[in-house]
Chains A and B, each alone.
Chain A
Amino acid sequence: MHMADALISPAVGGTMWAASLGLAAYSARKLKPEIAERKVPLMGVIGAFVFAAQMINFAIPMTGSSGHLGGGMILAILLGPHAGFLVMFSILAVQALFFADGGLLALGCNVFNLGFWPCFVVYPLVFKRIVGEKPGQGRVLAGALVSGILSLQLGAFGVVLQTVVSGISELPFGVFLLFMQPVHLAIGVVEGVVTAALASFVWKARPEVIELADDSKATGSASMKPILLGFAVATIITGGLLSWFASAHPDGLEWSMFKTSGQEELDMPDRGVHSSLADIQERTAFLPDYGFAESEGAAGSDETGGGATAEEPDEQDDEKWPAVSGGTSLSGLVGGGMVLLIAGLVGVSLRLIKKRRQ
Chain B
Amino acid sequence: MVRIHAAVSDVGALDGLASQDSPIHRLDPRAKIAVTAMFLAAVVSFPKYEIAEMMPLFLYPAVLSAVGQVPAKTLLRYLLLASPFALLVGVFNPLLDREVVVHWGSWAVTGGWLSFFSILIRFVLTVSAALLLLACTGYVSVCAALNRFGAPRLLTMQFLMLYRFIFILSDEASRMVRAHGLRSGSGRKPTLRVWGSLAGHLLLRAYDRGLRVHAAMLARGFDGTLHPPRAFRWRWADSLFVAGCALFLALVRFGHVAERLGAWVLRVSG
Interface on A for B, CB 8 Å cutoff? Answer: 1-10, 13, 21, 24-25, 27-29, 31, 36, 40-49, 51-52, 55-56, 86-87, 89-91, 93-94, 96-105, 163, 167-172, 176, 197-198, 201-202, 205-206, 246, 251-253, 256-257, 260-261, 264-265, 268, 273-274, 277-278, 280, 283-284, 287-290, 322, 324-340, 342-344, 346-348, 350-351, 354
Interchain CA distance A48-B120 in the complex, whole Å:
31
Prevailing SS type, chain B contact patch: helix
Chain A neighbourhood of B166, CB < 8 A: 48, 51-52, 94
Q: Are A327 and B50 in contact (CB under 8 A)?
A: yes
Query: Given the known A-B contacts A336-B262, A337-B55, are A283 and B103 also in contact in the complex, defined by CB atoms under 8 Å?
Result: yes
Question: Which of A21, A93, A277, A289: most chain B Cβ within 10 A?
Answer: A93
CA separation between A120 and B168, bound complex, in Å?
29
Q: Which of B22-77 touch A at CB < 8 Å? A: 36-37, 40-41, 43-45, 47-56, 58-59, 61-63, 65-67, 69, 72
> Which of B81-89, B229-237, B238-246 lies at the interface with chain A?
B81-89
Once the chains bind, are B169 and A28 in contact (CB under 8 Å)? no
Partner among A8, A10, A170, A256 whose Cβ is within 8 Å of the Cβ of B256? A256
> Quick check: B49 and A325 within 8 Å, CB to CB?
yes
Residues of B within 8 A of A44 (CB): 158, 161-162, 164-165, 168, 210, 214
* Contact A332–B258 (Cβ < 8 Å): yes
Give the contacting residue for A335; candidates B61, B168, B254, B261; CB below 8 A: B261
3 residue pairs, one from A and one from B, having the closest CB atoms:
A335-B262, A336-B52, A347-B62
Closest Cβ–Cβ distance, residue A18 to chain B (whole Å): 13
Q: Are B56 and A343 in contact (CB under 8 A)?
A: yes
Q: Which residues of A contact B170 (CB under 8 A)?
A: 48, 52
Q: Is A2's CB under 8 angstroms from B52's CB? A: no
Across the interface, which residues of B come within 8 angstroms of A205, CB to CB?
200, 204
Residues of B with C-beta under 8 A to A337 = 52, 55
Q: How far is the CB of A232 from chain B (nearest CB, A)?
A: 17
Q: Is the CB of B90 within 8 A of A334?
A: no
Interface residue B114 (Cβ < 8 Å from any Cβ of A): yes
> Does the CB pair A10–B45 fall under 8 Å?
yes
Asked if B182 CB lies within 8 Å of chain A CBs, one says no
Say whether, besides A105-B44, A246-B45, A56 and B3 are in contact (CB < 8 Å): yes
Q: Which residues of B contact A340 (CB under 8 A)?
A: 55, 58
Residue in contact with B96 in the complex, picked from A25, A31, A170, A332, CB distance below 8 Å: A170
How far, in Å, is B224 (CB) from chain A's closest CB? 9
Q: Tell me the complex Cα distance, A322–B116, Å.
A: 16
Out of A41, A97, A99, which one reaches B207, CB within 8 Å? A41
Q: In this complex, what residue of B is CB-closest to A95? A: B83
Nearest CB on A from B43, distance (A): 7
Residues 140-192 of B at the A interface (beta carbon under 8 Å): 142, 151-155, 157-159, 161-166, 168-170, 173
**Bound Cα distance from A97 to B99, whole angstroms:** 37
Q: How far is the CB of A275 from chain B (nearest CB, A)?
A: 9
List, sorted by A's number, 22 A–B pairs whose CB atoms are closer than 8 Å: A4-B85, A4-B86, A6-B86, A24-B152, A44-B162, A45-B206, A49-B169, A97-B139, A100-B79, A171-B93, A206-B207, A264-B267, A322-B48, A326-B256, A328-B51, A331-B262, A332-B259, A333-B51, A336-B262, A339-B56, A340-B58, A344-B58
